[in-house]
Amino acid sequence: QVQLVESGGELVQAGGSLRLTCATSGYTFSSYVMGWFRQAPGKEREFVAAISGGGWTTSYADSVKGRYTISRDNAKNAVYLQMNSLKPEDTAIYYCAAAYTVTTRLAAYNYWGQGTQVTVSP
């Protein structure tokens, strides 16, 4: 049974940092591209970052480029999102997901976690 479980979301002040973790099980983790998406109230879910199975290729949304870093540890079946210089606009539910290719398309991701809330106060 495929499971993706996010953790690490919390309330943080603008300018602060947060590290999200996605723990996975039930599939061949290293064969999948892993991505992070976020969804703010009243808005559509949007792409944040993705990383290839071997970790050689990464992709970031323009809004987070230079502030966020995606990484993975295949030995631990986990993917991480390091978020620095956080802004109130980063407030959203953050989801991790698995796909077969590095892409920004939500529909290409086959497995999803339940999400973790990140709130950035002014």
- The CA distance from 116 to 103, in Å, is 22
Query: Which of 66, 72, 71, 70 has its CA nearest to residue 85?
Result: 66
Between these two residues, 27 and 53, which has the higher pLDDT value? 53
- Tokens 């989801």: give the residue: 95
Q: How far is CA 74 from the centre of its chain?
A: 16
Note the pLDDT tens digit of each residue in 78-102: 999 999 999 999 999 999 999 999 9
Residue 71 has a pLDDT of: 98
In this prediction, residue 19 carries a pLDDT of 98
Which are the contacts of 76, defined by CB distance < 8 A and separation ≥ 6? 23
pLDDT for residue 81: 98
pLDDT value at position 95? 98
pLDDT in tens, 28-85: 888 899 999 999 999 999 999 999 999 999 999 999 999 999 999 999 999 999 999 9
CA dihedral 71, 76, 77, 82 (to 10 degrees): -30
pLDDT band at 2 (very low <50, low <70, confident <90, very high): confident
Residue 1: band (very low, low, confident or very high) from pLDDT cuts 50, 70, 90: confident
